[in-house]
Amino acid sequence: MRNIVILISGGGSNMLAIAQAAQREHWPERFQARIACVISNRPQAGGLAKAAELGLATQVVDHKSFEGQSHPREAFDSALMQAIDVHQPSLVVLAGFMRILTPGFVVHYQGRLLNIHPSLLPAFTGLNTHQRAIDAGCRFAGATVHQVTVDLDDGPILAQAVVPVMPDDTADSLAARVLTQEHLVYPQAIAEWLSRQP
């Protein structure tokens, strides 16, 4: 069985969409793949309770407990890697995981680390993507599933979802429209990735 570890920081809506797709589409039978654990860097993340309700194992590696160390980001990433590697993952999925990962972490999972970004990459890397798309006069926005590399919001694109930008859109209304598509395209991209791996 191939193990998937999902990393979250908040409400976990993408994690939930992936987990529900895995159940609905019988990933254990079709791909010999299962969600082994959902790990959050925030103890209060709402997605932890949602994962537990689905019967998924959960864990917290609190990034704040590493503050005050000489290299807090590296120490956190090292602890996170240890928590992940217990599950011998075939795939590590970033689903609203609000941390910039160190190069050492990314290299450790090279080729098996996926992320979803709320823009049509390579446009609008980083934060505030929806407001930036509106400010730029974009007619379309969307989301991109990509493999993670050491460069922020870079790496091979696996899938994209496109939504129109409406004349009266705010960042919040556009974000909500994009999020509904994220919930569709992310599970699809993961299923396609699993189907292509030997």
Supply the residues annotated as catalytic: 117
Residues composing the chain: 198
From the number of C-beta atoms within 10 Å of its C-beta (0-12, 13-18, 19+), residue 133 rates as: buried
| Token pair of 76 as six digits | 């956190």
| Local structure of residue 166 (DSSP, 8 states) | P
When computed from its CA atoms, the radius of gyration of the chain, rounded to whole angstroms, is 17
- For 194, the 3-state DSSP assignment is helix
Q: Which amino acid is at 151?
A: D
- For 129, the 3-state DSSP assignment is helix
| Local structure of residue 126 (DSSP, 8 states) | S
Distances from the Cα of 75 to the Cα of 61, 71, 78, angstroms: 11, 6, 5
- DSSP labels for 29-94? HHHSEEEEEEEESSTT-HHHHHHHHTT--EEE--GGGGTTSSSHHHHHHHHHHHHHHTT-EEEEEE
